[in-house]
Amino acid sequence: MLSWISVISAWSIPIMVAFIPLYAYTRKVPVYESFVEGAKDGFSTAIGIIPHLVGMMVAISVFRSSGALEFFVGWTGPFLQSLGVPGEILPLGLLRPLTGTGSLAYTTELIRAYGPDSMIGRIASTIQGSTDTTLYVLTVYFGAVGIRNGRYALKVGLFSDLVGFIAAIAVCLLVFG
């Protein structure tokens, strides 16, 4: 059974990539022209996103380089330790809404230092899968389409990140603790 699943898994995407243009061709859709038009739209979207992306990267760099991250972790670490939550996890909770790459790098550092089967490694991996890069998404995608008032999206996104962060910790402590 596993061998069939592996075969299906390996061939599903190539079959879809071949099937969609063939189906479009049989429906008399100008496949190549449609592709080129979509590529033009994608290129202009990418050009529109670049300023927002650069601004977000600078803000993240300033936040980390200024020492604000370390200050906040040092200030709240003892409280988290009293709840049984490893203090090493807090920077991940702060970085995850800001940057996917930065939070993934920090998760990799935690797993390298403590191991993937440690409580810290499990919590970090679960947080990585349970939260999103809210500020990045709002900055880049809302900026690309011209949305100027995203305050409700920001509140809901950060609240869902907080809930995901807390739930990831609670579930890991419950299941693995």
* Rounded-to-10 torsion of CA 55, 61, 64, 67: -100
Residue 51 above 90 pLDDT?
A: no
Assign 177 a pLDDT band (cuts: 50, 70, 90): confident
Tell me what pLDDT residue 169 has: 94
Q: The whole model's pTM is what?
A: 0.65
The per-residue DSSP string of 33-51 comes to: HHHHHHHHHHHHHHHHHHH
Percent of the chain at pLDDT > 90 equals 34
Q: How confident is the model over 34-38, as a mean pLDDT?
A: 87
Residue 1 above 70 pLDDT?
A: no
Q: How confident is the model over 68-79, as a mean pLDDT?
A: 82
